[in-house]
A and B are shown apart, each in its own frame.
Chain A
Amino acid sequence: MRRKLRPIGRRLLSMHYRRAFAGGVFIALLAGCLARQTISYHQDVYPVLETNCLECHRPPEGEGYLKTHLSMETYQSLMKGTLYGPVIIPGDSRKSIFNMLVEGRADASLRMPHLQTNPLTAQDIEILRLWVDQGARDN
């Protein structure tokens, strides 16, 4: 009896591991694909900025522009940054002030965007993060 059960047990165990392994591989591939997805400034990033940020960060009257001179109208103006310097470090979203403020990693009162009751969606934040980590290119 035992001898008959053992192979079945082993087979089940083997199937369990195979499924777990296959699942792991699938998840890893999916994560890899997402991470490799190239974020386009014009197709992915600008629409997020236009919807959520430009109202304030547009010269000459935008409130955010008047405070810090950060204009998000163009790629060049975004990369130029504020009166105090650039807010984006290409390739490093952790140290980019731009990402710090939209992710709420600075004081809560500074979280961007200011005027909206709802913060950016997780997907929007992820797009901005990936774009900066991928080099913040004008693509």
Chain B
Amino acid sequence: MFTARNTGIAGAAAKTGCFLCLLLALSSLAPARASSLPNIEISENSGNYRVRMVMLIHAPARYVNSVLTDYKHIYRLNPAITESEILPSPHSGAVRVKTRMEGCIFFFCRNVDRLEEVREVNTGHLHAVIIPEQSDFTSGSADWRIQPIGKDSEIVYEAQVTPAFFIPPIIGSYFVKRTFAEAVITSFARLECIARTRAGLDTRSRQYLADATFGTTDIDAIQAAMLVGEDPSAHNQPTGAGDKSRDTGCAGSCDPSGGGC
């Protein structure tokens, strides 16, 4: 299962008392079962955002790697991706992946374009660099390191980006961190689900996380609980028929009644 060590969001809490109150209020909603959580750290310094996440994925490393390098289907990893395109790279062994993501804060939404040059440094290590000229970021890079652990895989994801668009101080920073956290957690949950499907394994084991990140339940409470080190499953509710899902993800391929996938 996941391992939780700390949450970098604590730095943001110090910036605003209201946010701290919110987190404290939310933290009381769930019992502490830290072992089921990913380790995620998010920090911001002078407009540069850093994310580090360590997570045990219950799928064999080669399937995890195959999903991550399936650039054509990158949209499967995050429902916020509304457009994607694979472009040739002038450098051998690399590929350029262009994505457009939609991010919303309350009713205000904006598209964020990103062009990344991705290369497989060696087996199990992907490195991506943002091309600022065609992105809404002045700089950025990301590393995925996939380590097989028995039949599972440990993924260490480290990324840093500097948005080129205006972000209001304090509140903006908080929402950007939340958006990053949501995107990363969603992508990890989907990654696991797709890798398990490809490996012919059932996808029930992380149903609570899938439901959480796929927005079929109280995503805000779950995300906040995860960020403060609580168990998100406490906020998980059965998926109701006809719910407006924020996701098109792997969770839906499972029988909501608890059957196999």
Contact = CB atoms under 8 A, between A and B. Distances in A.
Interface of A: 80-92, 94-97, 100, 105-110, 135
B220 interface: no
A89 B197 contact: no
B110 to A, nearest CB: 13
A106 B250 CA distance: 19
A84 B249 contact: yes
B248 to A, nearest CB: 5
A135 B230 CA distance: 34
Nearest to A95: B79
Q: Tell me the dominant secondary structure on chain A's binding face.
A: loop
Interface in B5-25: none
B246 interface: yes
Interface string B94-119: 00000000100000000000000000
Contact of A95 (B72, B80, B85, B252): B80
B82 interface: yes
Quick one: which of B85, B86, B197, B253 has the most chain A CB within 10 A? B253
B1 to A, nearest CB: 22
B56 interface: no
Q: Which size bracket describes the interface of B in this complex?
A: 20 to 34
Contacts of B248: 81, 85-89, 95-97
B82 A105 contact: yes
Contacts of A92: 244, 246
A52 B103 CA distance: 32
B85 A106 contact: yes
Minimum-distance CB pairs A-B, first 7: A86-B252, A85-B252, A105-B83, A85-B249, A85-B250, A107-B72, A85-B253
B251 A85 contact: yes
21 contacts: A81-B248, A84-B197, A84-B250, A85-B193, A85-B252, A88-B248, A89-B245, A89-B248, A90-B242, A91-B244, A94-B82, A95-B82, A95-B102, A96-B248, A100-B75, A106-B73, A106-B83, A106-B84, A106-B85, A107-B85, A110-B73
Nearest to A106: B84
Contacts of B102: 94-95
A84 B75 contact: no
A80 B244 CA distance: 14
Given A89-B79, A106-B75, A84 B194 contact: yes
Contacts of B244: 89-92, 135
Nearest to B245: A89
A89 B247 contact: yes
Contacts of B253: 80-86
